[in-house]
């Protein structure tokens, strides 16, 4: 029987707690709202001698990720945390981390990108880096943030994957929202994550290697192709680790979570904290006889296209809630990928996109109920109207 | 022999052995060529010490020539040569090639 301790934790506290229990070799970080607390609390653990971590205080997020890359190439288990402009400043080196196949774990707090300056939640930062070769896990609440951090270590370090992984929360909504969560004991977390055994650590002086070498036209393509293999191997590993986590600690994790979708005629798909609000909306609509359902996506990279198509194949109309705008004049990133995933179905549901919640604009149960109402109209008329709509913006 | 494919290559662009820089011939980057004039050489080895590409060839403790497969023609050896009559002078590759 595993030890279960209930504790009140914000998302940031939960992620810092997971980091303490994982006890990584190196953390290099630079503070940014609303992710600051994660590494701030963790630096307290370092100062108090509760972890064995080498903490590298750097002068920017670009340097933070660069230091993480060096330490990871050396053979260390490495973690960091950031948000928004910080992730954007890291962007160049995020690609180097994945290109060098370094299993760095990043606690990312989703926040809007400037301009205008804004410190609140949307998914623009994480979505802007969706093609960086990182595994991306979204959390609905503090509990999932904590659990995702612990699983992220195993996913990233699995030799079939060897890709950096970001576990994300929603700025302030989760990062600063206090909730009761179940903690796992230090000992059990240590047992779950195990010891990191890098295949080719740079510090092994008996076996000298070169890391970060130059590729010309004759090798670059092959090395990039390998990253796609790592991403293609990830689903099996993520599924296995999600199940193992569930078997041990009672909370099972997959790629998506379906809520009342079995007989649903209209469905909403979303990521992160909005799933909690949408669940209430579904319950309200169900009590009024509307066959509403919800699809929450936990893993955005790799994108679980087949699973999503399979789950949504019998729904008549779907609204995708995008908490970032692709600014492509063709909807947000989640919409485009879900809509594409449905393309091969013999009979496709109708799909619309709602850009919502930018810069922390609240989304209420009533807003979501309105979306379901529109979906009911669409499913009856068979007409979509505007493909992309903006939810909660003043005109 | 064709180059290895992505299934065979080590992951992450790693090169799993040391000293591989020798296999990479950087000499064809050169536009200026250092020319060694043996009779002017005082064997101070300054050129060998300063050369950033380990391209000064030493035999029996004496400078005997330049490794043109790796020398990039930076000219540091010629600049640092302290002999009254320079033992290394830089010449244009274009002139030498004619």
Q: Look up the ipTM and state it.
A: 0.89
Locate the domains of chain A by residue range. 5-249, 256-391
Chain B residue with CA closest to A211: the answer is B14
Mutate to test the interface with B, among A160, A208, A228 (most CBs of B within 10 A): A208
How many C-alpha atoms does A263 have within 13 Å on its Cβ side?
4
Q: Which of B13, B17, B20 sits opposite A99 (nearest CB)?
A: B13
DSSP A92-149: HHHHHHHHTT---EEEEEE---SSSP--S--SHHHHHTTTSS-EEEE-SSHHHHHHHH
Instruction: Tell me how many degrees the CA angle A305-A249-A46 measures, rounded to the nearest 5.
Output: 95
SS3 A348: coil
Look at the block and give the residue holding tokens 């619309």: A352
Provide the chain A residues 181-240 that lie in CB contact (below 8 A) with chain B: 199-200, 207-213, 215, 218-219, 221-223, 225-226, 229-230
- On whether the A5-249 domain is CATH 3.40.190.10, my answer is no
**pTM as predicted:** 0.93
Shortest CA distance to A123 belongs to which of A320, A317, A265, A290? A320
DSSP state of A34: T
Hey, do A5-249 and A256-391 end up sharing a CATH topology, with the first three levels equal? yes
Residue with token string 């994790």? A253
| Interchain proximity A200–B10, CB inside 8 Å | yes
Tell me the chain A residues in contact with residue B5 when contact means C-beta distances shorter than 8 Å. Answer: 222
Q: Quickly count: other Cβ atoms within 10 Å of residue A209's Cβ.
A: 17
Q: Which residues of chain A have pLDDT under 50?
A: 1
Note the CATH architecture for domain B29-97.
Answer: 2-Layer Sandwich (3.30)
Q: Please give, rounded to a whole number of angstroms, the shortest distance from the CA of A133 to a CA of chain B.
A: 12
Per-residue model confidence (pLDDT) at position A136:
98
> Is it true that the peptide bond before A52 is cis, omega within 30 degrees of 0?
no
Of A280, A204, A163, whose CA–CA distance to B17 is shortest?
A204
Is B10 an interface residue toward A (CB < 8 Å)? yes
3 state SS for A305-335: HHHHHHHHCCCCEEEEEECCCCCCCCCCHHH
User: In sequence order, which residues have a C-beta less than 8 Å from that of residue A66 and are 6 or more positions away?
Assistant: A93
Which positions in chain A touch B2 (Cβ < 8 Å)?
none
The pLDDT-based confidence of B97 (bands split at 50, 70, 90) is: confident
From the list B6, B17, B20, the residue facing A222 with the nearest CB is B6
Cα A391 to Cα B71: distance, rounded to the nearest angstrom: 64
Residue B1 pLDDT grade (very low, low, confident, very high; cuts 50, 70, 90): low
Q: Tell me, what's the pLDDT at B18?
A: 87
Q: Minimal CA–CA distance to A81: which of A157, A16, A137, A14?
A: A16
User: Do B11 and A99 count as a contact with CB atoms less than 8 A apart?
Assistant: no
Cis ω before A374 (30° cut-off from 0) = no
Measured in angstroms, the CA of A310 and the nearest CA of chain B are apart by 31
The CATH number of A256-391 is which of 1.10.10.10, 3.30.1330.20, 3.20.20.70, 3.40.50.920? 3.40.50.920
Look at B6 and A100 and tell me if their CB atoms are within 8 Å.
Answer: no
- Which positions in chain A touch B26 (Cβ < 8 Å)? none
Instruction: Enumerate the residues of chain B whose CB falls inside 8 A of the CB of residue A211.
Output: 12-14
Residue A387 forms contact with B (CB below 8 Å): no
Closest by CA position to A41, among listed A71, A21, A13: A13
């Amino acid at each position: 029987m595993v030890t279960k301790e209930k504790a009140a934790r914000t998302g940031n506290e939960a992620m810092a707690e997971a980091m303490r229990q994982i006890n990584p070799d190196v953390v290099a970080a630079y503070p940014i709202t609303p992710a600051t607390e994660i590494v701030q609390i963790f630096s307290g653990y370092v100062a108090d001698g509760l972890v064995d971590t080498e903490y590298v205080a750097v002068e920017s997020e670009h340097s933070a990720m660069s230091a993480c890359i060096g330490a990871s190439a050396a053979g260390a288990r490495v973690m960091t945390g950031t948000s928004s402009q910080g992730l954007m400043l890291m962007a160049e080196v995020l690609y180097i981390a994945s290109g060098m196949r370094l299993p760095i774990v990043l606690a990312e707090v989703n926040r809007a990108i400037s301009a205008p300056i804004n410190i609140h939640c949307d998914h623009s930062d994480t979505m802007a880096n969706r093609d960086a070769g990182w595994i991306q896990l979204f959390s609905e609440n503090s509990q999932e943030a904590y659990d995702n951090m612990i699983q992220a270590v195993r996913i990233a370090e699995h030799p079939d994957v060897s890709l950096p992984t970001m576990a994300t929360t929603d700025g302030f909504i989760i990062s600063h929202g206090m909730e009761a969560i179940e903690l796992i004991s230090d000992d059990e977390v240590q047992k779950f994550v195990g010891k990191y055994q890098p295949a080719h650590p740079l510090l092994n002086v008996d076996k000298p290697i070169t890391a970060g070498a130059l590729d010309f036209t004759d090798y670059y393509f092959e090395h990039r192709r390998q990253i796609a293999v790592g991403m293609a191997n990830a689903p099996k590993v993520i599924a296995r680790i999600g199940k193992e986590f569930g078997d041990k600690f009672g909370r099972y994790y997959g790629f998506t979570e379906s809520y009342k979708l079995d007989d649903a005629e209209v469905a909403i798909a979303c990521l992160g904290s909005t799933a909690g609000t949408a669940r209430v909306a579904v319950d309200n609509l169900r009590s009024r006889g509307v066959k509403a359902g919800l699809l929450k996506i936990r893993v955005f990279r790799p994108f679980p296209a087949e699973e999503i198509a399979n789950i949504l194949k019998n729904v008549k109309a779907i609204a995708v809630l995008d908490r970032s705008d692709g600014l492509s004049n063709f909807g947000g990133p989640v919409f485009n990928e879900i809509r594409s995933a449905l393309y091969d179905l013999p009979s496709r549901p109708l799909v619309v996109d709602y850009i919502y919640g930018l810069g922390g604009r609240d989304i209420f149960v009533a807003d979501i109920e309105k979306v379901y109402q529109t979906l009911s109209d669409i499913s009856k008329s068979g007409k979509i109207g505007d493909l992309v709509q903006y939810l909660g913006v003043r005109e | 022999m064709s180059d290895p494919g992505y299934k065979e290559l080590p992951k992450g662009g790693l090169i799993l052995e040391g000293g591989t820089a020798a296999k990479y011939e950087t000499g064809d980057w050169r536009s200026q060529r250092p020319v060694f004039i043996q009779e002017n050489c005082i064997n101070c080895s300054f050129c060998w010490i300063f050369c950033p590409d380990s391209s000064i060839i030493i035999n029996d403790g004496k400078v005997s020539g330049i490794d043109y497969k790796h020398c990039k023609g930076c000219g540091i050896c010629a600049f640092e040569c302290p002999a009254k009559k320079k033992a290394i002078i830089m010449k244009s590759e274009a002139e030498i090639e004619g």
